[in-house]
Amino acid sequence: MTFIEEENSNLPEQTVGIVCALHLEVAPLLDKLNPSRTQTGNGLKYYECHWGNLRVVIVEGGVGYNRAKVATHALIDAIQPEWILSVGLSGSLVADVKLSDIVLANSLIRQNGMQEVCQRFEYPGNPERGLHVGKLCTADHIVHTCNEKQELHERTRAIAVDMESHSVAMVCKERDIQFMAIRAISDDLSADLPKEVLAIFGPKGTIRTGALVGTIFKRPSSVKDLWKIRENAVRAAENLARTTLDLLPQLVPLAEE
């Protein structure tokens, strides 16, 4: 990536890479970081930012395990970061992890229960203030019903589910890069996600306009449901941005422990 290579001779002391799936997940974070450069290539979009003495490069890789794997390898090849963060939205698997709460993963597991990845450090949680530390599960599809979420928790003991973090963690383990997953809850156990969610999103997480129009035509009341989902996602993304910016300066001392 040209804009990354141009800066290699003057890198700040620490470089942090952030992998996300969708722009919505990091839009509030980008607003605060105010990227100095952006570039698109090979289906990925990069944003170069600075926060204090940290150089922060964010890549949007698209939804799912394989896309996250490709994005993480590409980001490491481009910037050789000290840290990689998997940042985005997730679903709660337990009742006490609520909308907009933050989950920091101390271990990660796939939906099939295989390949658990444990973290090298423990970070203190504060459940009363909506900060949870626990196991994160990565699924291969949107887990949209409360019954499936509860079953997934019972089988894996995870407290939240996403579709990318385990993939990012495995690449970081393979390439000896320090890793953290930071997830904000955009759907909880209070209700199933409407089935239309499965139909309207394309493989990169973009909305399929034709499917959206068809959904609204078939069930006009779905507009209210989909709008509520978006509102929940926006609020969660805003809290995700605040938490990520709070954590970034703490990565250096964590690395030295």
Give the HSE-up count for residue 178: Cα atoms under 13 Å, Cβ half-sphere: 16
16 Cβ contact list (under 8 Å, min separation 6): 54, 55, 56, 57, 81, 82, 83, 84, 85, 248, 251
Q: Which of 129-138, 186-195, 203-212 has the highest mean pLDDT?
A: 129-138
Does the CA dihedral 30-36-40-41 come out positive or negative? negative
Residue type for 141, please? H
What is the CB neighbour count within 10 angstroms for residue 40? 10
Reported pTM? 0.85
b/e 186-224 (16+ beta carbons within 10 angstroms → b):
bbbbeeebbebbeebbeeebeeeeeebeebeeeeeebee
CA distance 67 to 140: 12
CA distance 66 to 11: 29
Task: Report whether 185 contacts 92 (CB < 8 A).
Answer: yes
3, pLDDT greater than 60:
no
pLDDT reported for residue 118: 78
pLDDT reported for residue 24: 87
CA distance 85 to 53: 17
Cα angle vertex 22, ends 249, 210, to 5°?
165
pLDDT reported for residue 233: 86
pLDDT reported for residue 238: 96
pLDDT reported for residue 223: 54
39, pLDDT greater than 50:
yes
Task: Report whether 161 contacts 152 (CB < 8 A).
Answer: yes
Compute the chain's Rg from CA coordinates.
18
Helix H or strand E encompassing 99: none
Task: Report whether 86 contacts 181 (CB < 8 A).
Answer: yes
Residue 249 confidence class, pLDDT cut points 50, 70, 90: confident
pLDDT reported for residue 192: 81
Residue 252: strand, helix, or coil: helix
pLDDT reported for residue 92: 96
pLDDT reported for residue 4: 53
What is the CB neighbour count within 10 angstroms for residue 127? 13
17, pLDDT greater than 90:
yes
pLDDT reported for residue 209: 43
How do residues 125-157 score in pLDDT, each as one tens digit?
Answer: 899 999 999 999 999 888 889 999 999 999 999
Residue 157: strand, helix, or coil: coil
| Average pLDDT of the residues of the chain | 83
Q: Which domains does the chain have, with CATH numbers?
A: 2-256 (3.40.50.1580)
CA distance 61 to 112: 23
| Lowest-pLDDT range of 61-65, 159-163, 219-223 | 219-223
Q: Looking at residues 78-90, what average pLDDT do you find? A: 94
pLDDT reported for residue 96: 95
How do residues 96-130 score in pLDDT, each as one tens digit?
Answer: 999 999 999 999 999 887 777 877 666 788 999 99
pLDDT reported for residue 230: 77
pLDDT reported for residue 211: 42
